[in-house]
Copies of this chain bind each other. A is one copy, B any other.
Amino acid sequence: MQKPSIPQGTRDFGPAQVARRQYIFSVIRRTFETFGYAPLETPTLENLSVLTGKYGDEGDQLLFKVLNSGNFLVKERRGEITPLLTAEDLDAGPKVVLPKIAEKGLRYDLTVPFARYVAMNRGTLTFPFRRYQMQPVWRADRPQRGRYREFWQCDADVVGTDSLLCEAEIVLMMSRVFTELGLHDFTIKINHRGVLRNIYQALGGEGQEADLFVAIDKLDKIGRDGVSKELLEKGFAEPTIDTLFALLGVEGDFEEKLRRLLAGFVTAGVEPDGTRPDEDSSDEDDELAYYRGLKELVEVHALLQASGFKQFDRLEFDPTLARGLSYYTGCIFEVKINNVAMGSVSGGGRYDNLTGSFGLPGVSGVGFSFGVDRIYDCLESLDLFTETGETPTRCLITNFDQASGRAALPLLAELRAAGIPAELYPDAGKLQKQFKYADAKGIPLVIVLGPEELAAGVAKVKIMKTGEEKVLPLGEVVGALTV
């Protein structure tokens, strides 16, 4: 007899875990909906033609591919059966074999399916279109602590507007979710791809912009020395790297960093790439207007102030924030929980051409994502979950013998009609076993209803946590429990 198991990197969620996860989902869902985001769900299976080429070569490798159904080795047409695969195909390798035997794959993220949905439904959607999506995704990554092959994403995106109000609202939503969850020690990092581009230009445009972003992205992991080494290898000159770290290392609060970067760009002679801000949108120097990245960050900051945002101490302008994914073009975001050793728990940014690869160019959007599995681990590490039992049951009625078990049925029905999750222990027998059951499941109340109690028209209600017992007339039990 083979011992049953589940695939590497996947998990069963038992009752207590599901309850905790539902709690996280509900906080996120309520926030998304309060901000006007509408739910969308897309299929688990997508055509590989939709998924392939959207996540880079590495992503293509990590896609789970689903074998075509039926006899995937042959093609049948008008009763004629021809083999699809030859021995030569096998020699040629998976790139040749794969398209012949698999045309579907598992959802890899929620962004590409969203873009596919928008492109498919462009004729009927009303823009700006705000949607949220909370579904699992699958990646054939090597499993490790905090990294699963099946994990959940909660995305919210708005497409069809380039209003910076959307960026400000992302900060508001992030702050609201982590505050509601009790994860107060968070930092929302914000940067702008335009700022990174200006930094690149300030270095004289040496080497490749992408190489620079990729290297900066690793700063957290490999440190300044590691990044320097990588950039030297990529052909950047030593003094250039010094300039880079001077710019990345600007100090001060949000506005001071902006001002210092501005000075740096001006000194380095970086060509302005933005327009002058409106009179009322900013009190900053007019020069700020000329760099799109800096200007938009000022604007987002101002919108947050106007919205009454109170947590500026948790919002950090971080010029080193790069976010690897290449499709971002404007503001980028990332959230860390400072008192837990854990990667980012939320992130996102603006992209200018999400649906371009599906034949709908020029749709600008901005979105972000919560990583539910990591948030779960943070809450658990910090012991922030309220106690959750192994069952929703609030109340167990004991089953002394067949007659009193049956006599308990009206009370059971009454409890449930009042919305109180309740059970009658299904088998008549020893009370000790039934109390053990209630204890193991974390059921808070046990109602003893044996022949004696029934004869007296009462029920004994025991509060499991304290051991306290009350004898109540049968007709008053439900009322006492619903107070």
Cross-chain contact B35 with A423 (CB below 8 angstroms): yes
Cross-chain contact A73 with B90 (CB below 8 angstroms): yes
Q: Does A62 contact B (CB under 8 A)?
A: yes
Cross-chain contact B358 with A149 (CB below 8 angstroms): no
In the bound complex, residues from chain B placing their C-beta under 8 Å from that of A385 are none
Q: Does A136 contact B (CB under 8 A)?
A: yes
In the bound complex, residues from chain B placing their C-beta under 8 Å from that of A410 are 306-308
Cross-chain contact A15 with B43 (CB below 8 angstroms): no
How far does the Cβ of A1 sit from chain B's closest Cβ, in whole Å? 4
Cross-chain contact B102 with A67 (CB below 8 angstroms): yes
Q: Which residue of B lies closest to A306 (CB)?
A: B409
> Known interface pairs A65-B66, A94-B73. Does A45 touch B5 (Cβ–Cβ under 8 Å)?
no
Q: Does A208 contact B (CB under 8 A)?
A: no
Q: Which secondary structure dominates where chain A touches chain B?
A: mixed
In the bound complex, residues from chain B placing their C-beta under 8 Å from that of A232 are none
Q: Does A280 contact B (CB under 8 A)?
A: yes
Cross-chain contact A392 with B50 (CB below 8 angstroms): no
Q: Does A12 contact B (CB under 8 A)?
A: yes
In the bound complex, residues from chain B placing their C-beta under 8 Å from that of A7 are 43, 45-47, 103-104
In the bound complex, residues from chain B placing their C-beta under 8 Å from that of A421 are 33-36
How far does the Cβ of A466 sit from chain B's closest Cβ, in whole Å? 22
Q: Which residue of B lies closest to A441 (CB)?
A: B126
In the bound complex, residues from chain B placing their C-beta under 8 Å from that of A413 are 172, 307-308
Cross-chain contact B358 with A34 (CB below 8 angstroms): no
Cross-chain contact B416 with A35 (CB below 8 angstroms): yes
Q: Which residue of B lies closest to A30 (CB)?
A: B419
Cross-chain contact A392 with B426 (CB below 8 angstroms): no
Cross-chain contact A161 with B18 (CB below 8 angstroms): no
In the bound complex, residues from chain B placing their C-beta under 8 Å from that of A70 are 61, 140
In the bound complex, residues from chain B placing their C-beta under 8 Å from that of A117 are 12
Q: Does A189 contact B (CB under 8 A)?
A: no
In the bound complex, residues from chain B placing their C-beta under 8 Å from that of A4 are 47, 49-50, 116, 119-120, 358-359
Cross-chain contact A307 with B43 (CB below 8 angstroms): no
How far does the Cβ of A54 sit from chain B's closest Cβ, in whole Å? 11
Cross-chain contact B69 with A62 (CB below 8 angstroms): yes
How far does the Cβ of A106 sit from chain B's closest Cβ, in whole Å? 7
Q: Does A144 contact B (CB under 8 A)?
A: no
Q: Does A327 contact B (CB under 8 A)?
A: no
How far does the Cβ of A432 sit from chain B's closest Cβ, in whole Å? 14
Q: Does A166 contact B (CB under 8 A)?
A: yes
Q: Does A315 contact B (CB under 8 A)?
A: no
Among residues 24 to 64 in chain A, which have CB atoms less than 8 Å away from a CB atom of chain B?
Answer: 33-47, 49-50, 61-62, 64
B10, B407, B423, B440: the one contacting A45 at CB < 8 Å is B10
Cross-chain contact A33 with B90 (CB below 8 angstroms): no
Q: Which residue of B lies closest to A139 (CB)?
A: B69
In the bound complex, residues from chain B placing their C-beta under 8 Å from that of A391 are 36, 38, 130
Known: A34-B421, A307-B410; 14 extra A-B contacts, CB below 8 A, are: A4-B50, A10-B45, A13-B42, A33-B392, A44-B150, A64-B66, A67-B102, A73-B97, A128-B427, A130-B391, A130-B423, A166-B426, A172-B413, A306-B407
